[in-house]
Chains A and B, each alone.
Chain A
Amino acid sequence: MTLKLPMYMDNAATTPCDPRVVEAMLPYFTETFGNPGSRNHAFGWAAEEAVDKARRQVAKLIGADRKEIIFTSGSTESNNIAIKGAAYMYQNAPAGSDKCRGHIITGNIEHKAVLDPCKRLEKEGFEVTYLEPGPDGIFTREMVEGALREDTILVTLMWANNEIGTINEVPQIGELCHDKGIIFHTDATQWVGKMPTDVNTDNVDLLSLSGHKMYGPKGVGALYVRRRRPRVRLVPLTEGGGQERGYRSGTLNVTGIVGLGAAAEISLQEMDSERERLLKLRERLEGEITKQLDTTQVNGHAQKRLPHLTNISFGFVEGESLMMACKDIAMSSGSACTSASLEPSYVLKGLGVGDDLAHSSLRLSLGRWTTEEEVEYAIGNIVEAVNKLRQLSPLYDMHKEGIDITKIEWQAH
């Protein structure tokens, strides 16, 4: 088989739509185009039926009841509704909380779609604790427990990190929150569809997911809102027609929702075999790169990581030139430096990666259509690129000569 270049290894950014998903969606553009809110004719009923099916498909994927699924435009919107909606609903709820509207716990390596709503709430009189993970990137029950206050109303921590793939102690953190009567939200964008999920045994109250991370279409996602033990209530951010139990007004994106439902069903069926296949490919990729190159580091916990994702740091190589040398591989890059066009990664900085200030990192995320040939090509290309750039790197020479580059007085410019 000939390799098609450029190849796609950025499935944590987005995935291609599965053709089976597209096929399921097509009739809903032109034939079954009704508004599910039209209760008095067949066009509306057919659309409502399609949405209901999708609701069941998504609910099944995460072990929820279909009534607990709120369709949204994606995880960013789900996170906003969950975090702000819960904060407004439960503000001033705990006894003796007169100094602020309520206390929220999150992590400093969360996605911006969690951090920015939290920052907004801080400006509005809530107090937020940003937990710092250990060098392995994981948030534990103990960390949350240590930050709890009398007036804590909400804990929001992602299930798996988008840059390094580390998996947080969600079931344990959820258990703690339930014991204390605190609402627990998790941004499960990178997790759902890849890993087995059960909102009941995993003790989750609110969960965000996105269609386009699991081979569904972009612009559609869902928020799981627990209805029993405890019954979670939210203050809606968007008001209007009262769709989605009033939590998310606006005509439903029927085609997108049908696609999300189909994607959820396929993911559930193929999850186990896919996970095993991708883990093997990931191990091969990671193993060979770290074997063939010195001064590399796989970021995040060695085992507690998503099976299809790896984030590797390369010492003495600059990020932009590394991307230039690997231009046939679509992947993400993080950098510790501040001046290049690459944004420095706050996630890697949060882990303490990059304290030597002279490395760059690549995030490779494999997907449903990643082949062995592609993985072999990526290994060869990345190893060659890093070797080439190290031959050019004065810092690598110094490292080889035993000079500690952090001890040199550099002239920042």
Chain B
Amino acid sequence: MAYGTKVVDHYENPRNVGNFGTTEDVKTRKDVGVGLVGAPECGDVMQLQIKVDESTGKIEDAKFKCFGCGSAIASSSLATEWLKGRTLDEGLSIKNTEIVEELSLPPVKIHCSVLAEDAIRAAIADYKTKNEQD
């Protein structure tokens, strides 16, 4: 299968790989929101973590890890790039169709962009939940 040049670029040079601590650590960190979506048996699992600056309300950093095909890796890598510097509401406005367009994903890979959008929403929701409890 042939991949688009942007997918190959993100796959070969993934941006912002990593996390802000172990699974246990990030559960208790209030400045970090974690989104873990997908399922191993479906061949895609995305983990997206955002670190929010409390004073500005903006996402100051974002990291990802991804178990999945090249397009899934590229979609989550791109998501971290786009999230940085945005407010939570701006983050929520990212649509999967924009990811499809940016990476020129073929129809069979659209689910990768949907998963990336889900991961963004899940990470932001996690951050909000953690900070509502106060």
Contacts and interface: CB of A to CB of B under 8 A. Distances in A.
Interface string B2-27: 01000000010010010100111000
Given A317-B67, A324-B11, 15 more contacts: A318-B67, A318-B69, A320-B1, A321-B11, A321-B70, A338-B42, A341-B1, A358-B40, A392-B65, A394-B47, A410-B38, A410-B41, A411-B37, A413-B37, A413-B114
B94 interface: no
A319 interface: yes
A192 B39 CA distance: 42
A401 B24 contact: yes
Contacts of A398: 23
Interface in A358-411: 358, 391-398, 401, 403, 405, 410-411
A293 interface: no
Q: Which 7 A-B pairs have the closest CB atoms?
A: A337-B43, A410-B39, A358-B40, A394-B47, A394-B65, A320-B69, A357-B41
B40 A395 contact: yes
Interface size grouping (class) on chain A: 20 to 34
Contact of A412 (B22, B41, B65, B66): B41
Instruction: Choose among A321, A335, A356 the residue with the greatest number of B CB atoms under 10 Å from its CB.
Output: A321
A327 to B, nearest CB: 10
A341 B47 CA distance: 22
B67 A340 contact: no
Instruction: Choose among B43, B69, B115 the residue with the greatest number of A CB atoms under 10 Å from its CB.
Output: B43
A396 to B, nearest CB: 8
A224 interface: no
B65 A337 contact: no
Interface string B66-84: 1111101100000000000
Main secondary structure of the interface of B (DSSP, over half): mixed
Contacts of B115: 413
A336 interface: yes
Contacts of B11: 321, 324
A396 B11 CA distance: 18
Contacts of B61: none
Interface in B36-61: 36-47
Nearest to A337: B43
A339 interface: yes
10 contacts: A318-B68, A320-B70, A324-B3, A340-B68, A392-B67, A410-B45, A412-B41, A413-B37, A413-B111, A413-B115
Contacts of B37: 411, 413
Contact of A392 (B3, B14, B41): B14
A338 B45 contact: no
A28 interface: no
